[in-house]
Amino acid sequence: MQYSVIYISKTGNTRKIAKAIFDRLPGEDKDIEELNTHTDPEKSETVFVGFWINRGTSSMEMMDFLGRLHGKNVALFATCGMGASKAYYAKLESQMRALLPEDNICLGCFLCQGKMPIQVRRRYEEQQLQNPEDPRLTMMLRNFDEAMLHPDENDQQAAAEFACKTLERYAL
């Protein structure tokens, strides 16, 4: 298998991005699957790996999987609730790259905003009732509402372009 897209998705956000990437990969020698205990990291030389980010990191299952990847070309992609901050995305990209063992080639990272569970908004609302003067909570509520629209068509198109440009850049 030339390409694999392996992802974990809690709310469906990362699944949408994984599908957009998979659809853009050339040829028939490709596979897409949701991460599970039987996912074989050895089956492809180029792997697009996707996950959701919660509080700046991925799930333990994804960290374990990434730790088992060796000697691969790896492109990482993720969705997260917080968005519209290049500085935050740059920090996340650095953290994502650090999850890969050094014998892999990191082809790049793609991040986009994704909707969050409604419980997150309720938690922000409760915090705002206790701290009505905290501008950070107003920003977090605004961000939550914006995230409900993502990933959208533009995000999916950007993910597909990321896949295409990654393959072109590395001549894969």
pLDDT tens string 59-102: 999 999 999 999 999 999 999 998 768 888 999 999 989 999 99
pLDDT tens profile 12-25: 999 999 999 999 99
Quote the pLDDT of residue 169.
Answer: 92
Region 93-121: what's the mean pLDDT? 94
Same domain? 141 vs 82:
no
Same domain? 23 vs 105:
yes
- The token pair that represents 49 in the structure block: 């790996």
Predicted TM-score (pTM) of the model is 0.92
Quote the pLDDT of residue 159.
Answer: 98
Same domain? 60 vs 123:
no
- The phi-psi region of residue 55 (left if phi > 0; otherwise alpha if psi is between -120 and 50; otherwise beta) is left
Q: Residue 40 has what DSSP assignment?
A: -
What gap in Å lies between CA 32 and CA 18, rounded to an integer? 8
- Structure confidence at residue 112 as a pLDDT band (50, 70, 90): very high
What gap in Å lies between CA 148 and CA 130, rounded to an integer? 24
Same domain? 106 vs 120:
no
